[in-house]
Structure 1
Amino acid sequence: MSSTLLSRRDLRFLLHDWLEATRLTERPRYAEHSRETFDAVLDLAERVATERFAPHNRAADLSEPPSTAGGCTSSRRSSRPSTSSPRPACWPPAWTPRSGGMQVPHVVQVACFAWFQAANIGTSAYPFLTLGNANLLLAYGSAEQIDTWVRPMVQGRFFGTMCLSEPQAGSSLADITTRPEPQDDGTYRLHGTKMWISGGDHELSENIVHLVLARIPGGPPGVKGISLFIVPKVLLDADGALEARNDVVLVGLNHKMGYRGTTNTLLNFGEGVHRPGGRPGAVGYLVGEPHQRLPQMFHMLTSSRP
Protein backbone atom coordinates (compact mmCIF):
# COMPACT_ATOMS: atom_id res chain seq x y z
CA MET A 1 0.00 0.00 0.00
CA SER A 2 1.45 3.38 -0.99
CA SER A 3 2.06 5.98 1.70
CA THR A 4 0.34 9.37 1.77
CA LEU A 5 3.41 10.90 3.44
CA LEU A 6 6.17 10.28 0.89
CA SER A 7 6.79 8.27 -2.24
CA ARG A 8 8.68 5.18 -1.12
CA ARG A 9 9.68 4.57 -4.73
CA ASP A 10 11.14 8.06 -5.19
CA LEU A 11 13.06 7.88 -1.90
CA ARG A 12 14.66 4.57 -2.80
CA PHE A 13 15.47 5.82 -6.29
CA LEU A 14 17.32 8.79 -4.83
CA LEU A 15 19.10 6.69 -2.24
CA HIS A 16 20.11 3.67 -4.31
CA ASP A 17 19.99 4.56 -8.01
CA TRP A 18 21.16 8.15 -7.92
CA LEU A 19 23.33 8.38 -4.76
CA GLU A 20 24.37 4.69 -4.81
CA ALA A 21 24.34 4.56 -1.01
CA THR A 22 25.04 0.81 -1.00
CA ARG A 23 28.59 1.52 -2.21
CA LEU A 24 29.30 2.86 1.28
CA THR A 25 29.23 -0.72 2.55
CA GLU A 26 32.58 -1.21 0.80
CA ARG A 27 34.13 0.92 3.52
CA PRO A 28 35.16 -0.73 6.81
CA ARG A 29 32.97 1.67 8.83
CA TYR A 30 29.80 0.35 7.18
CA ALA A 31 30.92 -3.16 6.22
CA GLU A 32 28.30 -4.80 8.46
CA HIS A 33 25.49 -3.18 6.49
CA SER A 34 23.92 -3.94 3.12
CA ARG A 35 21.07 -2.69 0.96
CA GLU A 36 18.81 -5.00 2.93
CA THR A 37 19.70 -3.36 6.26
CA PHE A 38 19.31 0.14 4.76
CA ASP A 39 15.87 -0.76 3.40
CA ALA A 40 14.88 -2.34 6.71
CA VAL A 41 15.77 0.87 8.55
CA LEU A 42 13.76 2.89 6.02
CA ASP A 43 10.78 0.57 6.43
CA LEU A 44 10.95 1.04 10.20
CA ALA A 45 11.16 4.82 9.79
CA GLU A 46 8.07 4.77 7.58
CA ARG A 47 6.14 2.68 10.09
CA VAL A 48 7.13 4.89 13.05
CA ALA A 49 6.28 8.03 11.09
CA THR A 50 2.90 6.66 10.05
CA GLU A 51 1.87 5.18 13.39
CA ARG A 52 3.41 7.58 15.91
CA PHE A 53 4.05 10.93 14.26
CA ALA A 54 1.34 11.48 11.67
CA PRO A 55 -1.81 10.88 13.79
CA HIS A 56 -1.40 14.02 15.93
CA ASN A 57 0.13 16.33 13.31
CA ARG A 58 -2.98 18.46 12.83
CA ALA A 59 -3.86 18.55 16.53
CA ALA A 60 -0.36 19.68 17.49
CA ASP A 61 -0.37 22.45 14.89
CA LEU A 62 -3.81 23.72 15.88
CA SER A 63 -3.01 23.83 19.60
CA GLU A 64 0.32 25.12 20.89
CA PRO A 65 1.86 23.46 23.96
CA PRO A 66 0.48 25.30 26.99
CA SER A 67 2.48 26.95 29.75
CA THR A 68 1.77 25.69 33.25
CA ALA A 69 2.82 26.68 36.75
CA GLY A 70 5.57 24.09 36.74
CA GLY A 71 6.88 24.85 33.24
CA CYS A 72 5.58 24.33 29.75
CA THR A 73 4.39 21.02 28.48
CA SER A 74 3.95 19.42 25.09
CA SER A 75 2.80 16.13 26.55
CA ARG A 76 -0.81 16.30 25.45
CA ARG A 77 -2.22 12.79 25.02
CA SER A 78 -2.23 13.30 21.25
CA SER A 79 1.51 13.96 21.03
CA ARG A 80 3.00 11.72 23.69
CA PRO A 81 2.87 8.41 21.74
CA SER A 82 5.43 9.62 19.21
CA THR A 83 8.11 10.35 21.77
CA SER A 84 7.22 8.05 24.66
CA SER A 85 8.76 5.09 22.84
CA PRO A 86 12.50 5.76 23.29
CA ARG A 87 14.04 3.90 20.39
CA PRO A 88 11.84 5.22 17.57
CA ALA A 89 11.92 8.75 18.99
CA CYS A 90 15.67 9.14 19.19
CA TRP A 91 16.49 6.83 16.31
CA PRO A 92 19.55 4.71 17.28
CA PRO A 93 20.57 4.05 13.64
CA ALA A 94 21.87 7.62 13.71
CA TRP A 95 24.57 6.92 16.29
CA THR A 96 27.78 4.94 16.51
CA PRO A 97 28.15 1.68 18.45
CA ARG A 98 30.29 3.70 20.89
CA SER A 99 27.14 5.49 22.00
CA GLY A 100 24.77 2.55 21.64
CA GLY A 101 23.68 3.03 18.03
CA MET A 102 23.78 1.15 14.72
CA GLN A 103 26.09 3.50 12.76
CA VAL A 104 24.18 3.65 9.49
CA PRO A 105 25.51 6.22 6.98
CA HIS A 106 24.39 9.80 7.29
CA VAL A 107 22.64 9.71 3.92
CA VAL A 108 20.40 6.88 5.18
CA GLN A 109 19.69 8.83 8.37
CA VAL A 110 18.57 11.79 6.26
CA ALA A 111 16.21 9.54 4.31
CA CYS A 112 14.74 8.25 7.58
CA PHE A 113 14.18 11.74 8.96
CA ALA A 114 12.43 12.65 5.72
CA TRP A 115 9.65 10.27 6.84
CA PHE A 116 9.43 11.83 10.32
CA GLN A 117 9.38 15.39 9.02
CA ALA A 118 6.81 14.60 6.35
CA ALA A 119 4.60 13.05 9.01
CA ASN A 120 4.91 15.73 11.68
CA ILE A 121 7.44 18.56 11.46
CA GLY A 122 6.65 19.74 15.00
CA THR A 123 7.20 16.46 16.81
CA SER A 124 10.20 15.51 14.66
CA ALA A 125 12.04 18.58 15.98
CA TYR A 126 12.58 16.93 19.37
CA PRO A 127 14.64 13.93 18.18
CA PHE A 128 16.18 16.16 15.48
CA LEU A 129 17.61 18.54 18.10
CA THR A 130 18.64 15.64 20.29
CA LEU A 131 20.55 14.07 17.41
CA GLY A 132 22.52 17.28 16.83
CA ASN A 133 23.21 17.68 20.55
CA ALA A 134 24.51 14.13 20.84
CA ASN A 135 26.65 14.44 17.70
CA LEU A 136 28.33 17.54 19.11
CA LEU A 137 29.15 15.81 22.38
CA LEU A 138 30.45 12.74 20.54
CA ALA A 139 32.82 15.03 18.65
CA TYR A 140 33.96 17.35 21.45
CA GLY A 141 32.85 15.91 24.78
CA SER A 142 34.93 13.87 27.19
CA ALA A 143 34.39 10.13 27.63
CA GLU A 144 32.64 10.87 30.91
CA GLN A 145 30.33 13.43 29.30
CA ILE A 146 29.44 10.96 26.54
CA ASP A 147 28.59 8.24 29.05
CA THR A 148 26.64 10.64 31.27
CA TRP A 149 24.66 12.60 28.69
CA VAL A 150 24.79 10.96 25.26
CA ARG A 151 23.81 7.42 26.22
CA PRO A 152 20.55 8.54 27.89
CA MET A 153 19.76 10.52 24.74
CA VAL A 154 20.29 7.42 22.58
CA GLN A 155 18.02 5.52 24.97
CA GLY A 156 15.33 8.20 24.56
CA ARG A 157 15.40 9.17 28.23
CA PHE A 158 16.96 12.62 27.71
CA PHE A 159 16.33 15.14 24.94
CA GLY A 160 18.71 17.92 23.90
CA THR A 161 18.67 21.58 22.84
CA MET A 162 21.05 24.33 21.80
CA CYS A 163 21.00 27.75 23.50
CA LEU A 164 22.59 30.55 21.48
CA SER A 165 20.50 33.72 21.15
CA GLU A 166 19.76 36.22 23.90
CA PRO A 167 17.05 38.91 24.06
CA GLN A 168 19.48 41.83 23.87
CA ALA A 169 21.75 40.23 21.25
CA GLY A 170 19.54 38.27 18.86
CA SER A 171 21.79 36.49 16.38
CA SER A 172 24.83 38.66 17.24
CA LEU A 173 26.63 36.02 19.27
CA ALA A 174 29.58 38.34 19.89
CA ASP A 175 27.23 40.31 22.19
CA ILE A 176 26.01 37.50 24.43
CA THR A 177 26.28 38.19 28.15
CA THR A 178 25.42 34.85 29.79
CA ARG A 179 28.10 34.51 32.47
CA PRO A 180 29.61 31.29 33.86
CA GLU A 181 31.36 31.50 37.24
CA PRO A 182 34.04 28.81 37.84
CA GLN A 183 33.63 26.69 40.97
CA ASP A 184 36.19 24.86 43.11
CA ASP A 185 34.85 21.47 41.99
CA GLY A 186 35.48 22.21 38.30
CA THR A 187 31.86 23.04 37.45
CA TYR A 188 30.45 26.46 36.61
CA ARG A 189 27.43 28.45 37.75
CA LEU A 190 25.68 30.13 34.83
CA HIS A 191 23.66 33.34 34.95
CA GLY A 192 21.82 34.74 31.93
CA THR A 193 18.83 34.49 29.59
CA LYS A 194 18.45 32.57 26.33
CA MET A 195 15.78 33.21 23.70
CA TRP A 196 14.16 31.16 20.91
CA ILE A 197 15.12 27.81 22.45
CA SER A 198 13.25 25.08 20.57
CA GLY A 199 12.38 22.17 22.84
CA GLY A 200 13.62 24.24 25.79
CA ASP A 201 11.03 22.93 28.25
CA HIS A 202 8.52 20.09 28.08
CA GLU A 203 7.43 16.92 29.84
CA LEU A 204 8.26 14.44 27.08
CA SER A 205 11.55 13.21 28.55
CA GLU A 206 13.11 12.61 31.93
CA ASN A 207 15.65 15.37 31.38
CA ILE A 208 16.67 18.08 28.91
CA VAL A 209 20.36 18.57 28.11
CA HIS A 210 20.92 22.21 27.19
CA LEU A 211 24.10 23.15 25.30
CA VAL A 212 24.69 26.78 26.27
CA LEU A 213 27.03 29.40 24.82
CA ALA A 214 28.40 31.69 27.53
CA ARG A 215 31.32 34.02 28.17
CA ILE A 216 33.77 33.19 30.97
CA PRO A 217 34.96 36.42 32.64
CA GLY A 218 38.44 37.42 31.54
CA GLY A 219 38.24 35.80 28.13
CA PRO A 220 38.96 37.55 24.82
CA PRO A 221 36.30 39.84 23.33
CA GLY A 222 33.87 38.88 20.58
CA VAL A 223 33.12 35.35 19.49
CA LYS A 224 36.67 34.23 20.40
CA GLY A 225 35.73 34.49 24.07
CA ILE A 226 32.71 32.17 23.88
CA SER A 227 32.70 28.82 25.66
CA LEU A 228 30.24 25.93 25.53
CA PHE A 229 28.57 24.28 28.52
CA ILE A 230 26.32 21.31 29.26
CA VAL A 231 23.52 22.62 31.49
CA PRO A 232 20.91 19.94 32.30
CA LYS A 233 17.40 20.75 33.43
CA VAL A 234 17.76 18.13 36.16
CA LEU A 235 21.07 17.33 37.87
CA LEU A 236 22.28 13.76 38.32
CA ASP A 237 23.80 12.00 41.31
CA ALA A 238 27.03 10.02 41.23
CA ASP A 239 25.20 6.98 39.83
CA GLY A 240 23.57 8.91 36.99
CA ALA A 241 20.10 8.99 38.57
CA LEU A 242 17.96 12.13 38.49
CA GLU A 243 18.62 14.16 41.61
CA ALA A 244 17.44 17.80 41.83
CA ARG A 245 16.21 20.59 39.55
CA ASN A 246 18.95 22.76 38.17
CA ASP A 247 18.52 26.55 38.27
CA VAL A 248 16.99 26.69 34.77
CA VAL A 249 13.58 28.40 34.68
CA LEU A 250 10.99 28.80 31.95
CA VAL A 251 10.17 32.50 31.51
CA GLY A 252 7.68 32.17 28.67
CA LEU A 253 6.77 30.69 25.32
CA ASN A 254 7.35 32.24 21.92
CA HIS A 255 4.51 31.90 19.43
CA LYS A 256 5.33 30.81 15.90
CA MET A 257 3.47 30.50 12.64
CA GLY A 258 4.85 27.09 11.71
CA TYR A 259 5.24 23.67 13.39
CA ARG A 260 3.63 24.96 16.55
CA GLY A 261 3.86 21.58 18.24
CA THR A 262 7.50 22.32 19.11
CA THR A 263 7.89 24.35 22.28
CA ASN A 264 9.90 27.53 21.70
CA THR A 265 11.04 29.10 24.93
CA LEU A 266 12.67 31.93 26.83
CA LEU A 267 14.84 30.47 29.59
CA ASN A 268 16.54 32.05 32.60
CA PHE A 269 19.72 30.45 33.90
CA GLY A 270 20.58 31.28 37.51
CA GLU A 271 17.39 33.08 38.48
CA GLY A 272 17.50 31.53 41.95
CA VAL A 273 14.14 29.73 41.83
CA HIS A 274 16.02 26.45 42.17
CA ARG A 275 19.20 26.57 44.22
CA PRO A 276 21.38 23.47 43.75
CA GLY A 277 23.51 23.11 46.87
CA GLY A 278 21.70 26.10 48.38
CA ARG A 279 23.25 28.61 45.94
CA PRO A 280 21.79 30.36 42.86
CA GLY A 281 23.22 29.70 39.45
CA ALA A 282 22.63 26.93 36.92
CA VAL A 283 25.24 24.20 37.25
CA GLY A 284 27.14 23.75 33.99
CA TYR A 285 29.94 21.55 32.69
CA LEU A 286 32.51 22.95 30.26
CA VAL A 287 32.77 21.14 26.91
CA GLY A 288 36.37 21.09 25.70
CA GLU A 289 38.71 24.00 26.46
CA PRO A 290 37.47 27.47 27.47
CA HIS A 291 37.06 30.20 24.82
CA GLN A 292 36.90 29.84 21.05
CA ARG A 293 34.13 27.26 21.30
CA LEU A 294 31.63 28.79 18.90
CA PRO A 295 32.62 26.28 16.15
CA GLN A 296 31.40 23.47 18.41
CA MET A 297 27.86 24.82 18.35
CA PHE A 298 27.94 25.17 14.60
CA HIS A 299 28.96 21.51 14.46
CA MET A 300 25.57 20.80 16.02
CA LEU A 301 23.82 22.97 13.43
CA THR A 302 25.42 21.15 10.52
CA SER A 303 25.54 17.59 11.86
CA SER A 304 21.82 17.48 12.71
CA ARG A 305 20.55 19.09 9.54
CA PRO A 306 18.76 16.67 7.18
Structure 2
Amino acid sequence: MERVINRSDLSFQLYDVLDVASLSAYPRFSEHDKASYEAVIDAAERLAMDKFADHAHKADENEPQYENGRVVMIPEVKEALSHYLAGGFHLAHRDESEGGMQLPLVISQAIAAIFTGANASTTAYPFLTIAAANLLSAYASDDQKEQFLKPMLEGRFFGTMCLSEPQAGSSLADIRTKPRRYPMAAMPLKAPRCGFLLATMIWQKISCIWSWRKSPEDRKG
Protein backbone atom coordinates (compact mmCIF):
# COMPACT_ATOMS: atom_id res chain seq x y z
CA MET A 1 0.00 0.00 0.00
CA GLU A 2 1.26 3.46 -0.92
CA ARG A 3 1.87 5.47 2.24
CA VAL A 4 1.89 9.15 3.16
CA ILE A 5 3.94 8.67 6.31
CA ASN A 6 6.85 6.47 7.28
CA ARG A 7 5.31 4.10 9.82
CA SER A 8 8.69 2.99 11.12
CA ASP A 9 9.60 6.58 11.94
CA LEU A 10 6.17 7.18 13.45
CA SER A 11 6.34 4.08 15.66
CA PHE A 12 9.85 4.97 16.81
CA GLN A 13 8.76 8.45 17.84
CA LEU A 14 5.54 7.31 19.51
CA TYR A 15 6.78 4.29 21.43
CA ASP A 16 10.56 4.69 21.81
CA VAL A 17 10.93 8.45 22.15
CA LEU A 18 7.59 9.46 23.69
CA ASP A 19 6.77 6.13 25.37
CA VAL A 20 3.09 6.50 24.52
CA ALA A 21 2.35 2.92 25.58
CA SER A 22 3.03 3.91 29.20
CA LEU A 23 0.02 6.25 29.13
CA SER A 24 -2.20 3.20 29.62
CA ALA A 25 -1.19 3.30 33.28
CA TYR A 26 -3.38 6.38 33.71
CA PRO A 27 -7.07 5.75 34.48
CA ARG A 28 -8.22 7.84 31.52
CA PHE A 29 -6.38 5.59 29.05
CA SER A 30 -6.53 2.30 30.95
CA GLU A 31 -8.68 0.62 28.29
CA HIS A 32 -6.08 1.34 25.62
CA ASP A 33 -2.71 -0.21 24.87
CA LYS A 34 -0.21 -0.23 22.03
CA ALA A 35 -2.35 -2.69 20.07
CA SER A 36 -5.41 -0.43 20.19
CA TYR A 37 -3.32 2.61 19.24
CA GLU A 38 -1.90 0.77 16.25
CA ALA A 39 -5.36 -0.45 15.21
CA VAL A 40 -6.70 3.11 15.10
CA ILE A 41 -3.63 4.37 13.21
CA ASP A 42 -3.99 1.49 10.72
CA ALA A 43 -7.65 2.36 10.14
CA ALA A 44 -6.81 6.03 9.68
CA GLU A 45 -4.10 5.23 7.17
CA ARG A 46 -6.39 2.98 5.11
CA LEU A 47 -9.10 5.62 4.99
CA ALA A 48 -6.61 8.39 4.21
CA MET A 49 -5.24 6.48 1.23
CA ASP A 50 -8.60 5.18 -0.04
CA LYS A 51 -10.78 8.27 0.30
CA PHE A 52 -8.53 11.31 0.81
CA ALA A 53 -5.38 10.84 -1.26
CA ASP A 54 -7.40 9.77 -4.30
CA HIS A 55 -8.77 13.28 -4.96
CA ALA A 56 -6.04 15.56 -3.57
CA HIS A 57 -4.89 16.65 -7.03
CA LYS A 58 -8.44 16.90 -8.36
CA ALA A 59 -9.42 19.16 -5.46
CA ASP A 60 -6.53 21.50 -6.26
CA GLU A 61 -7.69 21.77 -9.86
CA ASN A 62 -11.38 22.22 -8.98
CA GLU A 63 -11.86 24.81 -6.27
CA PRO A 64 -15.26 25.20 -4.58
CA GLN A 65 -17.60 27.44 -6.58
CA TYR A 66 -20.54 29.59 -5.50
CA GLU A 67 -23.38 28.96 -7.95
CA ASN A 68 -27.03 30.00 -7.65
CA GLY A 69 -26.78 30.55 -3.92
CA ARG A 70 -25.05 27.24 -3.21
CA VAL A 71 -21.45 26.13 -2.76
CA VAL A 72 -20.50 23.45 -5.27
CA MET A 73 -17.47 21.20 -4.88
CA ILE A 74 -16.28 17.87 -6.19
CA PRO A 75 -18.32 14.93 -4.78
CA GLU A 76 -15.24 13.12 -3.49
CA VAL A 77 -14.95 15.63 -0.63
CA LYS A 78 -18.36 14.71 0.78
CA GLU A 79 -17.63 11.00 0.44
CA ALA A 80 -14.30 11.30 2.24
CA LEU A 81 -15.77 13.35 5.08
CA SER A 82 -18.72 10.99 5.46
CA HIS A 83 -16.33 8.07 6.00
CA TYR A 84 -14.16 10.17 8.33
CA LEU A 85 -17.13 11.09 10.53
CA ALA A 86 -18.53 7.55 10.45
CA GLY A 87 -15.17 6.31 11.71
CA GLY A 88 -15.33 8.73 14.64
CA PHE A 89 -11.92 10.23 13.92
CA HIS A 90 -13.18 13.73 14.79
CA LEU A 91 -13.89 12.35 18.29
CA ALA A 92 -10.60 10.52 18.75
CA HIS A 93 -9.46 12.53 21.79
CA ARG A 94 -12.88 13.25 23.29
CA ASP A 95 -14.47 11.53 26.27
CA GLU A 96 -16.29 8.25 25.86
CA SER A 97 -19.34 9.95 27.40
CA GLU A 98 -19.41 12.18 24.30
CA GLY A 99 -19.09 9.24 21.94
CA GLY A 100 -15.33 9.67 21.63
CA MET A 101 -12.49 7.16 21.65
CA GLN A 102 -10.78 8.87 24.62
CA LEU A 103 -7.37 8.42 23.02
CA PRO A 104 -4.27 10.33 24.15
CA LEU A 105 -3.88 13.59 22.27
CA VAL A 106 -0.54 12.44 20.85
CA ILE A 107 -2.29 9.53 19.09
CA SER A 108 -5.00 11.87 17.84
CA GLN A 109 -2.27 14.11 16.43
CA ALA A 110 -0.56 11.18 14.75
CA ILE A 111 -3.86 10.38 13.04
CA ALA A 112 -4.19 14.03 12.02
CA ALA A 113 -0.74 13.96 10.43
CA ILE A 114 -1.72 10.97 8.30
CA PHE A 115 -4.87 12.61 6.96
CA THR A 116 -3.04 15.89 6.36
CA GLY A 117 -0.34 14.08 4.41
CA ALA A 118 -2.98 12.46 2.23
CA ASN A 119 -5.05 15.56 1.49
CA ALA A 120 -4.54 18.82 3.36
CA SER A 121 -7.48 20.68 1.79
CA THR A 122 -10.20 18.13 2.58
CA THR A 123 -8.93 17.55 6.12
CA ALA A 124 -9.28 21.29 6.80
CA TYR A 125 -13.04 20.84 7.20
CA PRO A 126 -12.98 18.41 10.15
CA PHE A 127 -9.82 19.90 11.67
CA LEU A 128 -11.32 23.38 11.92
CA THR A 129 -14.41 21.75 13.40
CA ILE A 130 -12.32 19.95 16.01
CA ALA A 131 -10.67 23.24 16.95
CA ALA A 132 -13.99 25.08 17.19
CA ALA A 133 -15.45 22.24 19.28
CA ASN A 134 -12.51 22.45 21.68
CA LEU A 135 -13.14 26.18 22.06
CA LEU A 136 -16.85 25.67 22.72
CA SER A 137 -16.14 22.91 25.24
CA ALA A 138 -13.92 25.24 27.24
CA TYR A 139 -15.82 28.53 27.09
CA ALA A 140 -19.36 28.18 25.74
CA SER A 141 -22.52 28.39 27.82
CA ASP A 142 -24.77 25.37 28.15
CA ASP A 143 -27.16 26.85 25.59
CA GLN A 144 -24.32 27.46 23.13
CA LYS A 145 -23.04 23.92 23.62
CA GLU A 146 -26.49 22.53 22.90
CA GLN A 147 -26.92 24.72 19.83
CA PHE A 148 -23.46 24.43 18.29
CA LEU A 149 -21.20 21.89 20.03
CA LYS A 150 -23.62 18.99 20.04
CA PRO A 151 -24.23 18.98 16.25
CA MET A 152 -20.47 19.33 15.67
CA LEU A 153 -19.78 16.21 17.72
CA GLU A 154 -22.60 14.41 15.94
CA GLY A 155 -21.04 15.26 12.58
CA ARG A 156 -23.97 17.43 11.44
CA PHE A 157 -22.21 20.81 11.66
CA PHE A 158 -18.76 21.90 10.55
CA GLY A 159 -16.88 24.72 12.25
CA THR A 160 -14.60 27.36 10.81
CA MET A 161 -12.43 30.26 11.91
CA CYS A 162 -12.51 33.99 11.38
CA LEU A 163 -9.37 36.09 11.61
CA SER A 164 -9.94 39.60 10.37
CA GLU A 165 -10.40 43.32 11.03
CA PRO A 166 -12.80 45.89 9.52
CA GLN A 167 -10.49 47.05 6.74
CA ALA A 168 -8.88 43.66 6.03
CA GLY A 169 -11.65 41.31 4.97
CA SER A 170 -10.06 38.01 3.99
CA SER A 171 -6.62 39.57 3.42
CA LEU A 172 -4.72 38.52 6.53
CA ALA A 173 -1.65 40.46 5.40
CA ASP A 174 -3.64 43.69 5.91
CA ILE A 175 -4.39 43.09 9.58
CA ARG A 176 -3.08 46.00 11.68
CA THR A 177 -3.12 44.42 15.13
CA LYS A 178 0.44 44.33 16.45
CA PRO A 179 1.91 43.34 19.81
CA ARG A 180 4.50 45.63 21.39
CA ARG A 181 7.04 44.29 23.82
CA TYR A 182 7.46 46.22 27.07
CA PRO A 183 9.39 45.60 30.29
CA MET A 184 7.94 43.14 32.80
CA ALA A 185 6.93 40.80 29.94
CA ALA A 186 3.77 42.80 29.17
CA MET A 187 2.74 42.73 25.50
CA PRO A 188 -0.28 45.02 24.90
CA LEU A 189 -1.98 44.86 21.51
CA LYS A 190 -2.46 47.86 19.27
CA ALA A 191 -5.54 47.43 17.07
CA PRO A 192 -8.38 49.40 15.43
CA ARG A 193 -10.94 50.50 18.03
CA CYS A 194 -13.83 48.83 16.22
CA GLY A 195 -11.80 45.88 15.09
CA PHE A 196 -12.29 42.32 16.12
CA LEU A 197 -9.97 39.40 16.27
CA LEU A 198 -11.62 36.03 16.53
CA ALA A 199 -9.73 32.85 15.97
CA THR A 200 -9.81 29.23 16.87
CA MET A 201 -6.54 27.46 17.46
CA ILE A 202 -5.83 24.68 15.01
CA TRP A 203 -4.00 21.79 16.57
CA GLN A 204 -0.28 21.76 15.99
CA LYS A 205 1.12 18.60 14.56
CA ILE A 206 3.63 17.04 16.89
CA SER A 207 7.07 17.87 15.57
CA CYS A 208 8.21 14.28 15.64
CA ILE A 209 5.82 13.16 12.88
CA TRP A 210 7.34 13.43 9.45
CA SER A 211 5.77 12.94 6.04
CA TRP A 212 7.47 10.32 3.92
CA ARG A 213 9.16 12.18 1.08
CA LYS A 214 11.19 9.34 -0.41
CA SER A 215 11.14 8.41 -4.07
CA PRO A 216 9.17 5.34 -5.28
CA GLU A 217 12.49 3.48 -5.65
CA ASP A 218 13.37 4.10 -2.00
CA ARG A 219 9.93 2.95 -0.85
CA LYS A 220 10.50 -0.51 -2.31
CA GLY A 221 13.14 -1.07 0.34
User: So what's the TM-score if we normalise by structure 2?
Assistant: 0.75
What's the counterpart of residue 185 of structure 1?
none
Q: How many Å separate the matches in 2 of 1:52 and 1:105?
A: 25
Query: Is contact 1:45-1:112 (8 Å) kept?
Result: yes
Give the CA deviation at 1:121.
Answer: 0.6
Shift of the alpha carbon at 1:164?
Answer: 2.2
The within-5 A match list for 1:14-29 is 14-29=13-28
Map of 2:31 onto structure 1: 32
Q: So what's the TM-score if we normalise by structure 1?
A: 0.55
* 1:171 alignment counterpart: 175
1:160-239 aligned within 5 A: 160-166=159-165, 168-169=167-168, 170-173=174-177, 174-175=191-192, 177=194, 214=196
Structure 1 pair 143–59 and aligned structure 2 pair: CA distance change class (3 A): same
Residue 305 (structure 1) aligned to one of 198, 204, 208: 204
Please give the per-residue CA displacement for 1:91-122, whole angstroms capped at 9, x wherever unaligned: 22132234321221111011001110111011
Distance in 1 separating the partners of 2:148 and 2:26: 29
Report sequence identity in percent.
Answer: 39
| Contact persistence 1:129–1:160 (CA under 8 A) | yes
| Structure 1 position 175, deviation (Å) | 2.3
Partner of 1:69: 68
- Counterpart CA distance in 2 for 1:176 and 1:47 is 49
Which residue identity does 1:82 align to in structure 2? A
Question: Within 2, Cα distance between the matches of 1:73 and 1:175?
Answer: 35
C-alpha displacement of 1:80? 2.0
Deviations 1:218-271 (A, max 9, x none): xxxxxxxx7xxxxxxxxxxxxxxxxxxxxxxxxxxxxxxxxxxxxxxxxxxxxx
Question: How many angstroms does 1:78 deviate by?
Answer: 2.8
Equivalent residue in structure 1 for 2:77, among 66, 76, 79: 79
Q: Would you say the 8 A contact 2:152–2:158 is kept in 1?
A: yes
1:90 and 1:83 map into 2 onto residues whose CA distance is 10
Amino acid at match of 1:11: L
User: When you count strand as a share of all residues, which structure comes out higher?
Assistant: 1
SS in 2 for 1:161: coil
1:94 and 1:101 in contact (8 A); partners too: yes
Where 2:149 maps in the other structure, the secondary structure is helix
- Cα shift at 1:301: 1.2
DSSP 3-state at the match of 2:121:
helix
Tell me which amino acid in the other structure corresponds to 2:201: L
The CA distance in 2 between the partners of 1:120 and 1:80, in whole Å, is 13
Amino acid across the alignment from 1:8: R
Asked if the contact 1:92–1:102 (Cα under 8 Å) also holds between the matched residues in 2, the reply is yes
Task: Tell me the equivalent position of 1:149.
Answer: 148
Partner Cα separation in structure 2 for residue 115 and residue 157 of structure 1? 23
Mapped contact 1:83–1:89 kept (Cα < 8 A): no
Structure with the bigger percentage of helix = 2
Equivalent residue letter for 1:87? A
Amino acid of the structure 2 residue aligned with 1:175: P
**CA deviation digits over 1:71-103, x for unaligned, max 9?**
4333x2232211123234752213223432122
Q: Structure 1 residues 92 and 79 mapped into 2: Cα distance closer, same or farther (>3 Å)? A: same
Q: Over aligned residue pairs, what C-alpha RMSD do you find? A: 2.2
Residue 153 of structure 1: SS of its match in structure 2?
helix
* Displacement after TM superposition at 1:23 (Å): 1.5
Work out which structure has the larger RCO, using CA pairs closer than 8 Å and 6 or more positions apart in sequence.
2
Conservation of the 8 A alpha-carbon contact between 2:129 and 2:159:
yes
The answer to whether the 8 Å contact 2:3/2:49 transfers is: no
